[in-house]
Structure 1
């Protein structure tokens, strides 16, 4: 097998292992209580960014597209379910520019935390969430929904979490009662070809702050 094919196989194995771990932890973490002391409605974050007030949750509607202007993302959303091992199905490997939404969970814009996942790269090229860790507090994530509305979320924080330090409650637990929240997740840190794994996960947390047509 060529070096390129070996690299590709290792990375696909990494993505599969990451998603299995990630969603298992998320499904467990959904039952956890609200986390106190985190930036939210009208708060000034540790970075000195004035975060806007939260918008009331919207009626449930399926997502169709994700736009993240700060990092040049304009991506279609594909529904994902759980496979026979109860791991979320990743976006198709032949669609590295698509974002996967766990369709069995919260619909973005509705109350609760909606989960979006995306590949960080392929064997040779960046994928949809390659620059996810470059997002900053206060920047926007817009989700076009099937009812024709646009849900605008404001980034609350961006964390690069080492695998050994991953806490499902902090990553996926609802942060403020009654809010519509969003999580964007991909792999992060360094890629180790010997183990076929990344050292960290990137978790972006955002909350609903506006709407549009």
Structure 2
């Protein structure tokens, strides 16, 4: 993923603007899912894909959903990503709070949503960089279909997810339903989300979001 060339000291402002777009979309999507007629529908793969699943290739094999437990850690060994996970709620504007800037190597889980391993799409968000260095999800865009994502839960069990695709969604015309909505109503899914694209100097924000989608395919004992 490219963070573009940014003026010195602009990191927090840029990241804040990008999160405002991304997470306000989450809030609006949540309202549509609960207030709209018939609830949310299962969206299809996004229109702009960085690494989509080839035609005719099946989804990762299904695994029965797990009891609903909160996440404590996420690891993607092949990408060198490993970080604690903290629950995040909504701020005064109705958008979810990302991890504080003082915690650049911590991943935020949308605590009012699906727990990783349960039916639905669990949402994990992380910063791509700070004012001076890469942050927890800087290498997320290097994920490819088949990559394993391990989420350690409160009882010590590990829910293992397999990446299905990696998509890049432009900031303009952001489709919250496609990013946050479950694709299969019977499966446990995972979304890992960060900023991406290039830095738009005029807008003071990144131009896109990187979204990695994965399915529960295994577990490890306590």
Residue 164 to residue 65, structure 1, CA distance change in 2 (3 Å): same
Alignment equivalent of 2:168, drawn from 130, 135, 160: 160
**Alignment pair present for 1:185 and 2:167:** no
Alpha-carbon distance between aligned partners in 1 of 2:32 and 2:167, rounded to the nearest angstrom: 17
Alpha-carbon distance between aligned partners in 2 of 1:37 and 1:169, rounded to the nearest angstrom: 11
Q: Judge conservation of contact 2:191–2:212 (CA < 8 Å) in 1.
A: yes
Alpha-carbon distance between aligned partners in 2 of 1:163 and 1:100, rounded to the nearest angstrom: 20
Q: Judge conservation of contact 1:51–1:138 (CA < 8 Å) in 2.
A: no
Match of 2:136 in 1: 128
Match of 2:152 in 1: 144
Alpha-carbon distance between aligned partners in 1 of 2:24 and 2:77, rounded to the nearest angstrom: 29
Alignment equivalent of 2:204, drawn from 196, 200, 213: 196
Q: Judge conservation of contact 1:19–1:90 (CA < 8 Å) in 2.
A: no
Instruction: Tell me the SS of whatever aligns to 2:41.
Output: coil
Instruction: Tell me the SS of whatever aligns to 1:143.
Output: strand
Cα RMSD after superposing both structures: 2.2
Say which structure, 1 or 2, has more relative contact order (CA 8 Å, 6+ apart).
Answer: 2
Unpaired stretches in structure 2, ≥5 consecutive residues = 1-6, 34-38, 47-52
**Alignment pair present for 1:8 and 2:11:** yes
Q: Where in structure 2 are the equivalents of 1:1-213 lying within 5 Å?
A: 4-5=8-9, 7-28=10-31, 30=33, 31-35=39-43, 45-46=53-54, 51-213=59-221
Instruction: Tell me the SS of whatever aligns to 1:4.
Output: coil
Distance apart, 1:37 and its partner CA: 7.9
Match of 1:42 in 2: none
Q: Judge conservation of contact 1:111–1:178 (CA < 8 Å) in 2.
A: yes
Unpaired stretches in structure 1, ≥5 consecutive residues = 39-44
Residue 201 to residue 28, structure 1, CA distance change in 2 (3 Å): farther
Q: How many residues align?
A: 205
Residue 11 to residue 70, structure 1, CA distance change in 2 (3 Å): same
Residue 96 to residue 37, structure 1, CA distance change in 2 (3 Å): closer
Match of 2:50 in 1: none
Alpha-carbon distance between aligned partners in 1 of 2:22 and 2:84, rounded to the nearest angstrom: 19
Q: Judge conservation of contact 1:80–1:100 (CA < 8 Å) in 2.
A: yes
Q: Judge conservation of contact 1:29–1:173 (CA < 8 Å) in 2.
A: no
